[in-house]
Amino acid sequence: MNDTETQEIPRPDISATLRRPNPVFEGQNGFESDFHDEEIDDAHLHEALERHRLAQYILTQKDRPIPTIEEMKAYLEKPENSASVKEEIQALKEEHLEDLDRLYAAHAGEYTQEVLDLYYSKDDVLPASDLASQDPDNIEIYEKLDEYYEEFRQNHLFQSLWDTDYSVMRHTYLSRLLPLERKRRELEKEEEEAKRRRDAMFPMSAADFTTKPGDVQLRAARFLTADAAKQEKMLAEFGWAWRQVDPLKAEFASNVGSHLVSFGVSADQKDFDIG
């Protein structure tokens, strides 16, 4: 091979590793966009101004700090229970109050600026005699300014804007709050049912007693050491049946000399009121 020949370097086959393009866009230039802003004319001026106003409000008032990686991990890993949902609801309410404060400030600023513009637009110094001697174009300008001045004093433009902005914010807030409230109620119901089942647990024997959670052990020990009236009350309170408690009660009665020791309950626990 001489120096004038070029050596062809084989290219790796990467077709299997790259995402194939959508055939719909084949032959088109993806770097050339046909998107453009709509031409603004008098008929669409109000809509354009409103879009600009909304964009400015979002950029200046809806900013939120980006959470750190640690905060995002903690949020994803936290257990989902009624307490955590309550915290989320409280955070949402505080965020909503902050949004309302910003909305009030933004509308107050808009209204103040508009009133100042209106104030400076009317020339109260120019007497009618001087106006009559003005150029017809100037007369028309003054008449339009007076017309705008009177129209602004009589209409409720800013009240309408406030109603719209507040309604949108309120709808967004409720669309987030109501699902959380439903989830909280569902979780509380599940937790109450789990607590009811937990309260209904009663050891069937001394061996079974040692496998139960501490609060169940304490509740059973309290029942075993109570008088007959207190036992009847606890049966009704925790939904126990006599056939459920009789086996352990009989085993307890046969081992009165060391009942608390054999059941693994100390004297301090015996006096602990868990009812």
Mean pLDDT for the chain?
Answer: 76
User: 138-147 pLDDT, tens per residue?
Assistant: 677 777 777 7
Question: What's the pLDDT at 13?
Answer: 52
| Percent of the chain at pLDDT exceeding 70 | 71
Residue environment code for 210-229, b if the CB has 16+ CB neighbours within 10 A, otherwise e: eebeeebbbbbbbbbeeeee
Contacting residues for 93 by C-beta, under 8 A, at least 6 apart: 177
User: 68-108 pLDDT, tens per residue?
Assistant: 899 888 888 888 899 999 999 999 999 999 999 998 888 88
Question: What's the pLDDT at 189?
Answer: 93
User: Can you tell me the mean pLDDT for 41-52?
Assistant: 79
d(CA 96, CA 102): 10
Please, is 208 exposed, middle or buried when counting C-beta atoms within 10 Å of its C-beta (0-12, 13-18, 19+)?
middle
Contacting residues for 205 by C-beta, under 8 A, at least 6 apart: 247, 248, 251
R_g (Cα) of the chain, nearest Å = 39
What one-letter code names the amino acid at 127?
Answer: P
Angle (CA) 174-193-252 rounded to 5° is: 155
Question: What's the pLDDT at 274?
Answer: 38
User: 57-69 pLDDT, tens per residue?
Assistant: 888 887 778 888 9
Contact (Cβ atoms closer than 8 angstroms) between residue 114 and residue 158: yes
d(CA 30, CA 33): 7
User: 206-253 pLDDT, tens per residue?
Assistant: 888 888 778 788 888 888 888 888 888 888 888 888 888 888 888 888
Question: What's the pLDDT at 261?
Answer: 46
d(CA 234, CA 238): 6
Question: What's the pLDDT at 101?
Answer: 92
Helices of type H across the chain: 45-61, 69-77, 82-121, 128-132, 136-154, 157-200, 206-209, 214-224, 228-238, 242-253, 259-262, 267-270
- Please report which confidence band the pLDDT of residue 178 belongs to, taking 50, 70 and 90 as the band edges: very high
